[in-house]
Every structure is written in C-alpha cells, then in structure tokens.
Amino acid sequence: MGQTIIEKIFSRHVGKKVSANEIVLAKIDFCLGQDGTSGIVIDSFKKMGAEKVFNPRQMAVIIDHSSPSPNEGVSRIHKKIRDFSLEQKINFYDIGQGVCHQIVPERGYVVPGDLVIGADSHTCTYGALNIAATGMGSTDVAACAATGQNWFKVPATIKFICQGKLPLGVYSKDLILYLIGQIGADGATYLSCEYTGQAIDALSIESRFTIANMAIEMGAKFGIMNGDQKTLAWVKKHSSRKFKFVQADQDAVYSKALEFNISQLTPQIAKPHQVDNVCPLSEVAGTPIAQGYIGTCTNGRLEDFAEAGKILRGRKIKKGVRLIIAPASNWILKEAMKKGYINILLEAGATLVTPGCGPCVGTHNGVPADGENVISTANRNFKGRMGNINAFIYLGSPATVAAAVIEGKIADPRKYLK
C-alpha cells in the first residue's frame, strides 16, 4: 500500500513505515514559539525539570504578537522570553523582526521533508515548502524543547486537486477562501491536506504560503504541497541545509479526493463571524468599511504589497477610511521600500506599523471601534479577533482590500486592473 506525503514524512521521523491513525513517537527537526505562547512554554519547560533545550539551533522564539509591547504585563513576558533565550542560546528575534511564520522559513531554519511544531496554530504555513508543520499547545512545545520529540497521531489525508488557471484579479487568497467555504471550518478536522493540480503548480511560493497557512481554518493539522523547481529555488536561496522532496505514491490512500476547476473563480469574501462563511464578492459589494488591513502571516509578503500597489498607485484612500499595512518581516519591509511599494501605499494614505501580528490578533496597532466593518487579509474573522467583539471582520485578498479602501466599501478589484 502506497503512502501519502504526511505518512512518508512521519515514517522518516519514526524510523519505520507508518500509516494514518497510528500513534507514534517522532523526532522533530525544529520547534518555535511566539510571545503570546512562549511564556507558558518556558513555565512548562521548567516545571518538567528540564534544564537545557535539546538543541538550541533547532528552536526559535519570536516576539511578534505584541511588538513592541503595548503594556507592562506584556513587557514582563517579553523579559522572561529574552532571559530564557539568552540562557538557552536559542534563536531569538526581538521586536520589529517580523512574524514567526515568515522568519522561520525566510532564515532557512526549515527545509522540505522536515517535521516542525510551533506554539502557534498557523505553523502549517511551512507546508508550502513540502514540510510537515503543525501547531501544538505550549506544553507540547515545551516537551519538544526538552526532548526533541513528541507523540503524534499520524493523520489521514484529504487531497485537493485544483485545476485551471486563476483569472485576472483573483488570487490564492480567493482560492483558499473558496475551498474553506466548500468544505467547512471542520471539514478537514485532524487531517492533512495535500494541495495539488495545475492551479497550485502555477502559484508562486508566496502564494502557496497563503494556501498552506489557512489549512487550520478547515480544522486540518497539516497543509502540504509537493516540491518542484520553484520550491527548490526558494529554499536554496534561504537555506544551506541539504534536503530531499517527499512525494505521495501513486497508490496512496486518501480519506477523500476533491477536484475543482477554478478557471471561472471570482474574488471571494469571508463574512463575519466565521472563516467558512464565504461568498462571491459580488454578494457583499457595497458594504461600507471603516478600516482595511494588509499584513499577517497569510498575506504580508512582498507580492501582496505589489498587488495592492498596482491598485493604489496614483489613487487616494477615501476620506474617513483607514488602511493599516504590516509587512510580515523586516526584510520584506526593506524590499518593499526598495521597490517603491511602501511609498505608493503611504502616498495613498496608508499607515505603516511594525512588522508583526498586532492588528491581526487585536493586541495593538489597529483595534476597530464598536460597529465598524474591517476588510482584512488576515486568516480569521471570529468575534473579537482584532480586539473588539463588537466589530465585524471581512476577509479578502490584498487587491480586494486596496479596492475597498479607495471606495470606502467592499469593491471588486478587477475594475482597477483592466
């Protein structure tokens, strides 16, 4: 019987052939935490009686959720993280360096075939690079930090076959929102999602990150893609580690396989207050918005600012509307400045904030007021996600956000791209 990608990666890390639904003890290649979770990781690590991280080179902590600190309580946690990182000599990234899920692959810590865990639910992002990566609880990450291994249930796999070509003005964000709308927020619970097909192959690595990042929004443990020449070039640019791609066998067994032709796909919107509350943009066009947000581990990359810039170049944000932009890393910020994208957005009236997660999770840098509608490139729109349970969050692509802030209402970006 053939194996899926996730079964093969677990087999490598267990030391024998394993199949879906087996409980295994597997070695991990890398673990990470961020400032919203690492305080608990450190406390749990010490309660276990651990004294040293299993391998400092294979762990990172990134201060990104409240960066810089918005209050004294958070500052205390940040100090705890800084002290622990210095003591243990682990990879540490302080305020302003960016989002953990951009920094970890960008700095070359993970490569195809790796098994990675993080104390953050969107760790599945790295699946775009043919990596098995998943979010786990802080205590689990503490155990990994101490031992370099953990228990897993090998997940079954659902295969998404995406054929066709994305039309002009339709992006990977629209595609993943559409897929989540089709399968539901619990449609892939504790499964691994393999994304394949012509449409996936055509995507840039940055766009693939967007797809893999939101696997968790279907309930999945992993979201993973095949490696190809684009993957090879991207990884070699960022890492000197040796690696080998992992591909599913032709006779691999899947829990189900779903095929979609996306050639006629239109811009999509996730309406409040669920990520799977998805509809074509046309159904909510004209909905007034008070704030737009371009950033996050989903859509804070260079090409996202390039696409928004195409629409906002020479135009102004509507009076009374705010646009917040937060690059996913300091490197992206500098590159976007070099290429002129940031200047275009600032000239249009945008506000640039520190590279990090702040507005997405609602810790600072853009909490909306009661009753306000927000159009965001983030991955979640639950009540209170951006810091106010009385606000309403709509999710869309960076191009959709750009079009919306020009008009002060949800608008189709395609009219600005013709």
pLDDT tens, 253-304? 999 999 999 999 999 999 999 999 999 999 999 999 999 999 999 999 999 9
Backbone φ, ψ for residue 228 (5° rounding): -145, -165
Residue 359, Cβ density class (10 Å: 0-12 exposed, 13-18 middle, ≥19 buried) = buried
**Which residue ranges form the domains of the chain, and what is each CATH number?**
8-260 (3.30.499.10), 269-416 (3.30.499.10)
- Please tell me the distance from the alpha carbon of residue 377 to that of residue 203, in angstroms, as a whole number: 18
Q: What single letter denotes the amino acid at residue 5?
A: I
Both structure tokens of 253: 């067994």
Under 8 Å between Cβ of 317 and 349: yes
pTM score of the predicted model: 0.95
State residue 360's pLDDT score. Answer: 83
Both structure tokens of 340: 């002129």
State residue 362's pLDDT score. Answer: 83
In the chain, how long is the greatest CA-to-CA distance? 62
- Using alpha carbons, list the distances in angstroms from residue 55 to 13, 173, 174, 280: 16, 36, 39, 47
- Please tell me the distance from the alpha carbon of residue 416 to that of residue 228, in angstroms, as a whole number: 33
- Please tell me the distance from the alpha carbon of residue 309 to that of residue 10, in angstroms, as a whole number: 41
Both structure tokens of 297: 């581990």
Both structure tokens of 41: 């990781």
Residue 94, Cβ density class (10 Å: 0-12 exposed, 13-18 middle, ≥19 buried) = middle
> β-strands 278-280, 268-270: how paired?
antiparallel
- Please tell me the distance from the alpha carbon of residue 93 to that of residue 175, in angstroms, as a whole number: 32
Cα-atom radius of gyration of the chain, to the nearest Å?
A: 20
pLDDT tens, 343-366? 999 999 999 999 998 888 888 889
Q: Which parts of the chain register pLDDT below 50?
A: none
State residue 56's pLDDT score. Answer: 96
